[in-house]
Structure formats: C-alpha cells, structure tokens
Amino acid sequence: MITKENILEYLDEVKDPEIPTISLVDLGVISDIQIYENQEVIVEITPTFAGCPAIEYMRKNVEEVLLKKNVPAKAVINYNKVWSSDFITEKGLKQLQAFGLAKPSKSTEDLLQSMQNVECPKCHSKNTQLLNPFGPTLCRAIFHCHDCKETFEQFKTL
Ligand SMILES: [Zn+2]
C-alpha cells in the first residue's frame, strides 16, 4: 500500500529546476496528493509564479521520479490555487539560503516593509537595499548589502 508519506518522500528527489537545492515539497508547490482505491495516484502542483516556464518541466519530473519508484502517477497543474512564499518549509528556507538566495518575507508584512528588512544571505545583515524588483527569473529580485557590499538575490515574497 502506497501512502501520501511515501509519495512525499519520493518527491523529495524532485528539485526546483532553477534552485536545485530545494525540493518541490519544501517549496510548498505539491498542493494535493490523491490515492484512489485502484492505487491510481494524482499529484497536484500549484505553480509558484503564474507563467513560470519551469512548471511543465516540474510536472514531467514528478511523473518520472514516481514511475522510477514503481508508482505510475499523474501530475496535474492547478492554476486556480494561489501559491504563497509562506508555504515554503523551514527546511526549504534554509535550502534557499544555502543556494545564496535571501529568504522571502512573510506575505502578511506590507510590501514596503518586506522590501526593507531583507536579510543578506552572505553576512545576515539587514542593512540592505532593493536594486531591481525584476531579477534574472520571475521569482527573484536583486538587492545590495551595505555591509558586505555584495549584490544578492531574494526569492520574492508572494
Ligand atoms: Zn551582506
């Protein structure tokens, strides 16, 4: 008998194609897992950013990894659900930092506030400034740290 816990464990292997240190599970995009009596498995993915070009790749990757574990599953993308950076797990936030990205702020903070207290992933200073809200990918913004003088990227708050 396959369980949701098994599936989540297997899916830990599926990493975000743009941030290979974080799994889709820790990114909080695996929004639902259904296991039917006939052992049919449906994994639902909620895209992080609408129009994120990596989503189809992620969907295929979920199916491939599960198939390798002898779990033929169907992965579907649910565009009606809204993902929030608050869904990223504690482990996921650490993995973002390990990749050199600043953590997103809590989405409950107001936007201006959340742009001002971004912690530098290199020296952990909060004396930082937004340089460009449009980073190299949709999900990242570019900041400058006044203490270590480095430029860094933040996984955007959403
Ligand atoms: Zn710094």
CATH number at residue 63: 3.30.300.130
| Total number of domains constituting the chain | 2
**Are residues 36 and 69 part of one domain?**
yes
- pLDDT for 53 equals 74
18 lies in some domain: yes
Q: Output the average pLDDT for the chain.
A: 91
- pLDDT for 92 equals 96
- pLDDT for 51 equals 64
15 lies in some domain: yes
C-alpha 128 to ligand 1 mean position (Å) = 8
19 lies in some domain: yes
Closest by CA to 30, choosing from 83, 80, 103, is 83
C-alpha 151 to ligand 1 mean position (Å) = 8
**Are residues 67 and 18 part of one domain?**
yes
- pLDDT for 105 equals 86
Q: Which tens digit of pLDDT belongs to each residue from 27-86? A: 999 999 999 988 899 999 998 876 667 888 899 999 999 999 999 999 999 989 989 999
C-alpha 68 to ligand 1 mean position (Å) = 42
90 lies in some domain: no
86 lies in some domain: no
12 lies in some domain: yes
Torsion sign across C-alpha atoms 125, 136, 105, 21: negative
- pLDDT for 139 equals 82
Token pair in block for residue 32? 């639902």
pLDDT at 8 over 80: yes
d(CA 26, CA 16): 10
The side-by-side arrangement of strands in the sheet containing 30-35 is 30-35, 41-45, 73-77
* Residue range 77-97: mean pLDDT, rounded: 93
pLDDT tier at 115 (50, 70, 90 boundaries)?
A: confident
d(CA 60, CA 55): 9
pLDDT tier at 24 (50, 70, 90 boundaries)?
A: very high
pTM: 0.86
C-alpha 100 to ligand 1 mean position (Å) = 11
Q: Which tens digit of pLDDT belongs to each residue from 120-156? A: 999 999 999 999 988 877 788 999 999 999 999 999 8
- pLDDT for 50 equals 64
91 lies in some domain: no
C-alpha 72 to ligand 1 mean position (Å) = 45
C-alpha 94 to ligand 1 mean position (Å) = 17
d(CA 58, CA 3): 21
Containing domain of residue 39, as a range?
4-77
